[in-house]
Chains A and B, each alone.
Chain A
Amino acid sequence: MASTACFAIVSKNDIPIYEAEVGSAPKKEDLAYQHQFILHAALDVVQDLAWSTNAMFLKSVDRFNDLVVSVYFYLYNNIVFFNLMTHARFMLLHDSRSEDGIKSFFQEVHELYIKIFLNPLYLPGSRITSSHFDTKVRALARRYL
């Protein structure tokens, strides 16, 4: 498991709708904002890449020192309406290099996210507050990262 990992789902307007520190390292107060900074800054790169690639999984789009940002791009270029509706980006800040694990992690979280999304009471683009989702994501992080 990665010692540092910060997972975030960022909605269309660059608003984080879900954030979780899933690393095994003890949480440091002053790092919380740093991770946010890195993820937020990485959005610039993601934005650039989004229109130039069809791949959903973009590994190591950005890095800050030894921390790497990987992105699972949840944007279906071929399904226009869905794209408009969701445009969510899964961003993971990590220091491990296990690419397969990260990819699997993203795919599983994607499934969870779709479940959340199908919930008629969930307003797309609003913050995900489901504790179930949170627990599942953390479990996945332990398994794959």
Chain B
Amino acid sequence: MDPLRSYLGRLLLEEITPVVMVLTTPLAEAACRKSGLSVVDMLSPFSLFKKIDGDSPPRCSPLPIIVCMTLVAFHSIGFCDLMGNPLYAVPVRTASDQPYRLQMFKIRMVYASDVRKQDYEVADQRIKPVVSEANESALPDLLSDPPQLEDVLSKPEAELCPLWIKKFNRALMRTLSFSEHETFDHPVACLLVVSSKDNEPISKFVDLFNTNQLPSLLNEGIMDPQILKHYLILHDQQDGPQEIAMNILAEMKSTLGLNDCKLLCINSSTEADGADAENSWLPYIKDFMQDLASNHIIPYMEQKIRVLNQQVATTRKGFRNQIKNLWWRKRDDVPEAANGPMQVFAVTLFFFFNRYTFTSIESQIRVLGDYAFMLRDYELALSNYRLLSTDYKLDKAWKRFAGVQEMSGLCYFMLDQSRKDAEYCMDSAFSTYLRIGSSGKRNATRCGIWWAEMLKTRGQYREASSVYYRVSNEEPSLHSAVLLEQAACCYVLSKPPMLRKYGFHLVLAGNSYYISDQKQHAVRAYRNALFVYKQHPWSYINDHVHFNVGRWYGVLGIFDVAIKHLLEVIACSHQSLTTQSMFLNDFFHFVQSMGKKFDVYKLQLPVINMPSLRVIYEDHRTYASDADVNVSESIWQELEEEMIPSSSIVRTNWLEKSPDLRKYKDSCVCVVGEAVKVRIELRNPLQIPVVVSCISLICQLSTSLDASSAVNSVLTTGAGEDIANTKPAISTFEDDGNNFTVSKLDIVLGGSETKSVQLEVTPKVEGILKLHGIRWTLSDLLVGYQYFEFDTKRKTKKGKKGPRRTLSNTLIVIKGLPKLTGCIDHLPTNAFAGDLRLLKLNLRNQSEYAVKVCSNEHNFWSKFNGTTQFEPTTTNHTFKEGFQKTTRSSEPQNYFFYEFTLVRLLTETISKVYVVICVPYGPHTRSWSMDDLLVNVAKNIKMKLSHPRFVIPGDLSEVDFEFPQCLRKHVQSEISTVSTKRTQGDAKGLLFTFSQVFPSLNVSFAIRMCSSRLKEYIVRMDILNRTPSESFILHQLSCNDSKWAISSLPLCDSIRSIETVSANQSVSCFFKIKDLGTNSCKEAENSSCRSDMLFLSREGNSNTEEFDVSQSPITNFHYQERYQQGRLAKGPRDLLDFILISKAVGGNYSKSDPDVQLLSHHVCHCSAIDQSPIWWFMEGPRTVTHDFSKSYCEANIQLVIHNTVQHNISARVVTYDSVPDKSQTVNLQDSNSNQGGWYDVSLENDIKAISTAKGTHYQKQPSESISPFVWCSLSSSQVDLKPDTSTKVPLKVCIFMPGTYNLSNYQLQWKVHSSEVGQVDENQRSGGGQGHPFYVTVLQDA
């Protein structure tokens, strides 16, 4: 690129130009004033001579006049085309003989009074308006959106670096004008202006130059006072005829010189004489200036260059001169080194003030160089500068050295050669200026700006920006800000663009602007940098930028934008406490300044934890208390396994949906007058406490279904970020007092605190309620709101696992219903398997609707009483008292309570406890929940399986699905008695779980049929105490059915004295049970044969009350146990159930304690170990007295055969007369006894022992002898037995001699006729058995 066409080139051509000092008389000045101009103002527009291509007439614009004029001048002849037809550039000849042309030439016109070094402060004050002016134009920009990356990259350089910055640069450089060490600002010529009205104009001219008004540069000898003088007489044509002026001019020419005097006529007429009148005097000025430049200034400079060049050549050029020069300088140095400090000081003063006067060779070389530079003879200038630089360096005149280096750098640039040299020169000049301290700072700045421009011209933007940055360090904040901004621009322009540097430098610039009180500029700079930092999570940077932008916008009074930016930073958790409070204070300050509350979408303070959102409303599962809402669904499912019907059935029942509501099938339900609760977590990210008030829900309740569906469709279409736009304005959600009320909550969130708040909305009318979002007021200043994010996808996914109750925002409001809650006081924390406890349930009606408990209330309660009555006298008492206190009808908000007994399951593995209480549950009673129960349990135990919950809503017809049989039976029976009038009776169940159920007693029974008696069984009961410390007193053993009688074995009465089973003890005992049959009453009358057997206590009768197991609640519990155990049992055979009731006498229970702890153990579905399909036994006289002397004895006996199975059986009795083989029988029994731990106690052995004790000698009968008795009926008889019937086969035996005989030598063979083949075991389809022993004693009749 041609250096002259570059910006720097043009800058140099315009700035480094000859200066013409103007001296005026007051009258001359006054003449110009009439036109509103000073003399310099008038002449300056014509001081630029530029070659322009083509023919363009000079433009004349209204004041101030700017005229571009073409100088057509042959320097020796001075001919010019008046109307400026430009043809040639100015040929110039300097030191060399070869003339060249100037493309452009400019003269700077300066008043003599201005030719002095400016004060820094004054100069800076002049610069300030340049920046401030730009402020006003920046303001509208600030209201628009900040620029984006593409905007910045696509901007041309001129826009990045606006005009005012260039103006600023020039102004900054001009503050250095007329410095001592540079001569290009020194006046080349002096223009003396005298008005034609002045008296004695000639002497005025002399006076002007001789007065003390001359600049100090001239007076102090730094400049040569013998400069070119030019005399101008100014004539206003209004003041008189031109002849006067002409006369003065002639006089001047004669005295002051022929060529140096000029007349300039102006016309200050205000008469409307048209354009011509106005312009008539302009050509004169043009002519004058052209003449001045081409005929006087340029020749003068040329001549001076030649003279000086000659002088330099003779004194400094050549080998001899160089040696001489070196020697002289060295000699000057000697006294400096030899003498003391004072001497050095003196010498320094000398150097400083006197050394480089205009007469000194160094100054002359400098003048030569500068003149050459101004006339574009850069090679000549450069050679002189280089010569000079070594001199100054040797003299250690650093400022001058730097100045020279600076100029030589510019020369290199203008010559467009040796970039390296140019940079080296600029660099050394810059650093030298910096080294000399404060006096060189501004020079360094100018040098830096030139240097940076030079680098920019060459495309080295990165280097340029670093130069700008270095310069900015040396300047006051305002200047440094502008310079930093230029540095930033350079970073964008560099290839590739360095945006991060751009941002950083803009931020630095913004900071400096702010310090120098240029807020608009500061905001502009920061705003331009915003896009750089937008995406990156450099937290501190983002906070700083947004905070400052926001704050400054606030200071400028643009509050809305300020708040927008400050919103970005108020939730800065990573900042320190002081910073946070600073951010917050400023934010609040601006919000207050706004003077009105306004809404902020997604306000970050406090942070709303959306995943924590829980909507708590009534659904078919949520009967639990609020505290249970957060319990995981899987726990509920585990607990409610098999307890509740499937959800769809229930829901259709109690919701009673109208067809209109069908489309809201998936929606949830809430009730008029009852609050829907929304629980959500608020987190304060700051360390400062924050006051959050008026936290409330944004809701919408539409009573019209159609309208709401329309809204619904609109809302669902909007997704993602657009949701804020598609949602109706927040104002439409204002509390609609007619339809619903929302709760308002005020909290103070401490530093870094997270609080879970519960918000409520209470619908007042039926309809569709939508929960849209949450709204809160921060510090009473601004309202934040946020919409809930209901993720529909997630909802459907979770739906498979089980109904969710949190993720829908649409709720159906149904009409008001009563609501009962209940709680149990003092729920035991743990229990033994089999514990029976008395608990008290308090019920409360929370709603404003009355519960109609029951039409026949008395009946209900008495029946209820019956079901729960449990007979220990101690508990019975309190139980009844409790009922007397009961409030029978439940008024709104009243309490009523009653007590009931609680039972657990026998098996340890299941820790559920069912309590089925029957309270009227109908259309009027809706739901129950347990408030305190969980809390109690949770406080004491902290176990997870501890959640009571009401279950079983709905009416019975729908309950039966998968509902436990025993429970259903129970429920049904109660319903039938309780609500007879109600066709659709409903029941509620309670489900409790104990956290810990300890094993207590293991009870097992082994039953074996008694072979000698029909329907009698020998039972062994094994009890193992599995507790480590508790002892249990066995209280009672009962059968479930009254047809069974339990009795102790005749000789084993001692089992009744088994009283206590200590810890870890194992006890076995035997007893006998007998099937009394349904119609058998003979033995039932005997008091010793009952279905209950009490274990005797040593302490008398105090604890010997018998519990009636056929009554509730034990019978209810038994149903339930039976159901549970029946599921596990195989096969159809079951005989009877045992219920063992025991008392705990552990360390906690003294025996006198009225609250003695009862346990019941249920063993169901017991059956005999070996069981054949038929039973038989002999019936007949045991003792016969017969007189054998007459005849043999005939004994009539009957064989009773009983069919126990449900099939027809044909049985055949075969008698034979041989003695039965006992050992064979025993073996048979052994093979069948397969029960572990149970060794066979043969009944035969017992009986044999008894027989032996009686002293029989039957065994000793020789087997081969003739049998002493024979059967005397048919040897075989066949009978058919219908199911469950008995038949008697008459038998007769003939006995020949007295004695005791075992009539067991018969066999019974049977065959089962089963219609269904698979039902009976193949082994038992047919079989046979030896006869049971039957002893008949025949006595000789005496």
Question: Measuring CB to CB, which residues of chain A are less than 8 angstroms from any residue of chain B?
Answer: 13-16, 29, 32-33, 35-38, 40-45, 48, 65
Q: Which of A16, A29, A35, A38 contacts B537 (CB 8 A)?
A: A16
Bound-state Cα–Cα, A40 to B541, Å = 9
* Candidates B500, B543, B576; contact of A40 at CB < 8 Å: B500
Minimal Cβ-Cβ distance residue in A for B497: A44
Distance from B1000 Cβ to chain A, minimum over Cβ atoms (Å): 48
Rounded to whole Å, the gap between the CB of B1181 and the closest CB of chain A is 92
Q: A35 vs B537: C-alpha distance in the bound complex, in angstroms? A: 14
- Is B853 an interface residue when CB atoms closer than 8 A count as contact? no
Minimum CB distance partner of A16 in chain B? B538
In the assembly, what is the distance between CA of A65 and CA of B480, in Å?
14
Choose one: B473, B496, B504, B544; the contact of A41 (CB below 8 Å): B504
A33 in contact with B541 given A14-B536, A40-B504, A40-B536 (CB within 8 Å):
yes
* Pairs across A and B, CB under 8 Å, 10 listed: A15-B536, A29-B578, A33-B540, A36-B538, A40-B504, A40-B538, A42-B500, A44-B491, A44-B501, A48-B498
Contact A41 B538 (CB under 8 A): no
List, in ascending order, chain A residues with CB within 8 A of B473's CB: 65
What sequence of 0s and 1s flags, for each residue 1235-1261 of chain B, a beta carbon within 8 Å of any chain A beta carbon? Answer: 000000000000000000000000000
Q: Considering only CB atoms, which chain A residue lies closest to B578 in the complex?
A: A29
B579 within 8 A of A: yes
> Across the interface, do A37 and B541 meet the contact criterion of CB distance under 8 Å?
yes
Nearest CB in chain B: distance from A38 CB, A: 7
B920 interface residue (CB < 8 Å to A): no
Chain B residue contacts of A45, Cβ below 8 A: 498, 501
Q: Known contacts A37-B504, A37-B507: does B541 contact A44 (CB below 8 Å)? A: no
Contact of A38 among B491, B496, B504, B536 (CB under 8 A): B504
Which residues B1044-1059 have CB closer than 8 A to chain A? Answer: none
Given contacts A15-B536, A33-B544, A36-B540, contact A41 B503 (CB under 8 A): yes
Instruction: Report the minimal beta-carbon distance from A26 to chain B, rounded to whole angstroms.
Output: 13
Chain B's interface size range is 20 to 34
A36 contacts B541, CB within 8 Å? yes
CB distance from B585 to the nearest CB of A (A): 15
Which B residues are in CB contact (< 8 Å) with A35? 540
Is B814 an interface position by the 8 A CB rule?
Answer: no
Say whether B499 faces chain A, with CB atoms less than 8 Å apart.
yes
Question: Would A43 and B500 be within 8 Å (CB), given that A29-B578, A29-B579 are in contact?
Answer: yes
User: Chain B nearest CB: distance from A65 CB in Å?
Assistant: 8
In angstroms, Cα B575 to Cα A45, docked, is: 28
Chain A residues contacting B539 (CB-CB under 8 Å) are 36
Shortest CB-to-CB span from B464 to chain A, Å, is 15
Q: B537–A15 contact, CB under 8 A?
A: yes
- Chain B residues, Cβ within 8 Å of A36: 538-541
Chain A nearest Cβ from B1166, distance in angstroms:
58
What's the Cα separation between A65 and B575 when bound, in Å? 25
B939 CB to closest chain A CB, in angstroms?
35
Name 12 extra pairs, CB < 8 A, besides A32-B540, A37-B504, A40-B504.
A15-B536, A29-B575, A37-B507, A38-B504, A40-B503, A40-B538, A40-B541, A41-B505, A42-B500, A43-B500, A45-B498, A48-B498
Which interface residue of B491, B499, B504 has the most chain A CB atoms within 10 A?
B504
Min C-beta distance of A18 to chain B, whole Å = 12
Chain B residues closer than 8 Å to A37, beta-carbon distance: 504, 507, 541, 544
Q: Are A41 and B501 in contact (CB under 8 A)?
A: yes
Complex Cα distance A133/B541, Å? 24
Q: Which 5 A-B pairs have the closest CB atoms?
A: A41-B504, A33-B540, A44-B498, A33-B544, A44-B500
> Are B537 and A33 in contact, with the CB atoms below 8 A?
no
Question: Residue of B at shortest CB range from A8?
Answer: B538
How far apart sit A43 and B507, CA to CA, in the bound complex (Å)?
Answer: 16
Q: A29-B576, A29-B578, A29-B579 are in contact. Are A41 and B500 (CB under 8 A)?
A: yes
Q: In the assembled complex, which residues on chain A have CB atoms less than 8 Å from the CB atom of B505?
A: 41
With the chains together, A43 CA to B496 CA distance in Å? 13
B 491-536 contacts with A by CB, 8 A: 491, 496, 498-501, 503-505, 507, 533, 536
- Bound CA–CA A35/B539 (angstroms): 12
A79 to B28, CA, bound (A): 84
- How long is the Cα–Cα vector from A131 to B185 in the complex, in angstroms? 66
Question: Digit string of B567-578 for contact with A (CB within 8 Å is 1, else 0)?
Answer: 000000001101
Complex CA gap A29/B536 in Å reads 21
> Quick one: which of A32, A35, A44 has the most chain B CB within 10 A?
A44
Taking the closest CB of chain B, its distance from the CB of A127, in whole angstroms, is: 9
Provide the bound-state CA to CA distance between A65 and B537, in Å: 25
What 1/0 mask marks residues of chain B from 1206 to 1236 whose CB sits below 8 Å from any chain A CB?
0000000000000000000000000000000
Give the chain B neighbours of A65 by CB distance below 8 A. 473
Residues of chain A lying within 8 A (CB to CB) of residue B501: 41, 44-45
Cα separation A2 to B1004 with both chains bound (whole Å): 82
A44 to B536, CA, bound (A): 14
CB distance from A72 to the nearest CB of B (A): 19
Q: How far is the CA of A14 from the CA of B538 in the complex (A)?
A: 9
Q: Which residues of B sit under 8 angstroms from A44, Cβ to Cβ? A: 491, 498-501
Q: Which chain B residues border A42 with CB–CB below 8 Å?
A: 500
Interface string of B913-949 (1 = CB under 8 A from A): 0000000000000000000000000000000000000
Alpha-carbon separation in the docked complex, A43 to B540 (Å): 16
Residues of A within 8 A of B578 (CB): 29
Structural contact, A33 and B543, CB atoms closer than 8 A = yes
Which residues of chain B from 1265 to 1296 have any CB-CB distance to chain A below 8 Å in the complex? none
CB A34 to nearest CB in B, in angstroms, measures 8
A33 to B507, CA, bound (A): 11
The winner among B491, B500, B501, B576 for most chain A CB atoms within 10 A is B500
Contact residues in B for A14 (Cβ distance below 8 Å): 536
Chain A positions within 8 Å of B540 at CB level: 32-33, 35-36
- Distance of A32 Cα from B501 Cα, bound (Å): 18
Contacts of B536 in A (CB 8 A): 13-15, 40
Q: How far is the CB of B480 from chain A (nearest CB, A)?
A: 13
A29 to B579, CA, bound (A): 8
Contacts of A29 in B (CB 8 A): 575-576, 578-579
Instruction: Chain A residues near B544: list those with CB within 8 A.
Output: 33, 37
Measured between alpha carbons, how far is A65 from B474 in the docked complex, in Å? Answer: 12
> A45 vs B539: C-alpha distance in the bound complex, in angstroms?
21
Most A CB within 10 A of own CB, among B498, B533, B575? B498
Most B CB within 10 A of own CB, among A16, A37, A38, A65: A37
Q: How far is the CB of A44 from chain B (nearest CB, A)?
A: 4
Q: How far is the CA of A48 from the CA of B495 in the complex (A)?
A: 10
Chain A residue with Cβ nearest B473 = A65
Chain A residues near B498: list those with CB within 8 A: 44-45, 48
Bound-state CA distance A29–B541 (Å) is 12
Which residues of chain A are near B537, meaning CB under 8 Å? 15-16
Q: How far is the CA of A14 from the CA of B501 in the complex (A)?
A: 14
Measured between alpha carbons, how far is A36 from B538 in the docked complex, in Å?
7
- Determine the residue in chain B with the shortest Cβ distance to A27: B576
Contacts of B541 in A (CB 8 A): 33, 36-37, 40
A37 to B529, CA, bound (A): 12
Whose C-beta in chain A lies nearest to the C-beta of B499? A44
Smallest CB separation, B445 vs chain A (Å): 18
Q: Closest approach, in angstroms, between the C-beta of B602 and any C-beta of chain A?
A: 23
B171-199 contacts to A, CB under 8 A, are: none
Beta-carbon nearest neighbor of A39 in chain B: B538
A16 to B498 Cα, complex, angstroms:
19
B202 to chain A, nearest CB (A): 63
Cα(A37)–Cα(B537), bound, Å = 12
- Complex-state Cα separation, A45 to B504, whole angstroms: 13
Most chain B Cβ neighbours within 10 Å, of A32, A35, A65: A32
Residues in A whose Cβ lies below 8 Å from that of B576: 29
Give every chain A residue within 8 A of B496 (Cβ-Cβ): 48
Docked pose: A65 CA to B508 CA in angstroms: 13
CA separation between A37 and B541, bound complex, in Å? 6
Return the CB mask of B252-271 against A: 1 if under 8 Å, else 0: 00000000000000000000
